[in-house]
Amino acid sequence: MLEKLKQFFTRFFWLSPKNNEHRYLPKPNKTDILPDTLHASQNKPSADEAHQLPITNRIKTWLDDQGWRYDHRPPSENASRTHHLILGFTDKNNQDWTCIFRINESNQLVTLFGVIEESIPTYHYAQTMVETSQANMKIGYGNLELDPYDGELRAKVSFDGEFTSISDRALSCYVQAVSGLIDIAYDIIKNTKQNTMFSNNVNDYLEATDEVDVVVDDKHQKFFVATTAKQ
């Protein structure tokens, strides 16, 4: 599966050779996005911390091996054991975005977010929601989401650290997947900017070819009808 994802997202990434191997990774930002990222990777965890935070420190080690600068934001004392690793990227089109690893050491769930600084105006919400939904229907891994509270359009990829490999290759593929989704998100933002005749009605952005009848007409709802035998 990871190999298929690598092939699918290859066209979005920079080619970066390392150890005589060709790996497709986003191009790191030349300038710091966060002021304290220069020293984040220099603080090596103690043996006790490494035992308590196996996923966080495994990802930090991989980021250090890439030579990437990042900010590690540990949880507060009263919060859950959720850590955040934050770093900035610039893609091949010189588009900036922020990659965030959200790591919950308690349930071992890891989520990668790709965040674009530019927010969607409220008057473009309807169009953005339609285009985001249409994109998600075609995306095989990960998804895009629009935050209705601040207009943030972001990419998201998640995995379970307990049952999923956290190898160098897997982490590379996760970042590649987010980078590919960011490219789609930028296309959606570009489309909304070009539309000056915006509307708050989502129906105005549905084309005649959209399969709306599949939802409305019960006669067409045959493919996902459950079997008569209940499990």
pLDDT tens for each residue of 202-228: 777 777 555 545 454 555 555 566 667
Top-confidence range, 6-10, 36-40, 42-46, 132-136 = 132-136
Q: How confident is the model at residue 30 (pLDDT cuts 50, 70, 90)?
A: very low
What's the whole-number average pLDDT of the chain? 77
Q: What is the dihedral of CA 99, 100, 101, 102, to 10 degrees?
A: -160
Q: What is the mean pLDDT of residues 13-20?
A: 36
pLDDT per position as a tens digit, 125-151: 899 999 999 999 999 999 999 999 999
Other residues' Cβ atoms within 10 Å of the Cβ of residue 129 = 16
**Region of residue 22 (left: phi > 0; alpha: psi -120 to 50; beta: else):** beta
Q: Which two tokens stand for residue 86?
A: 């934050």
- pTM beyond 0.85, yes or no: no
Q: Within its chain, how far is the Cα of 71 from the centroid? A: 18
Average pLDDT, integer, range 34-43: 40
Residue 230 covered by a domain: no
Whether residue 154 is contained in a domain is answered as yes
Mean pLDDT for the stretch of residues 60-66:
96
Whether residue 227 lies inside any domain: the answer is no
CATH number, domain at 100?
3.30.1460.70
**Does residue 138 fall inside a structural domain?**
yes
- Predicted local confidence at residue 92, as pLDDT: 81
Domain that holds residue 128: 2-220
Domain-located, residue 14:
yes
Number of separate domains in the chain? 1
User: Is 147 within a domain?
Assistant: yes
* Domain annotation covers residue 92: yes
Q: For residue 133, is it within any domain?
A: yes
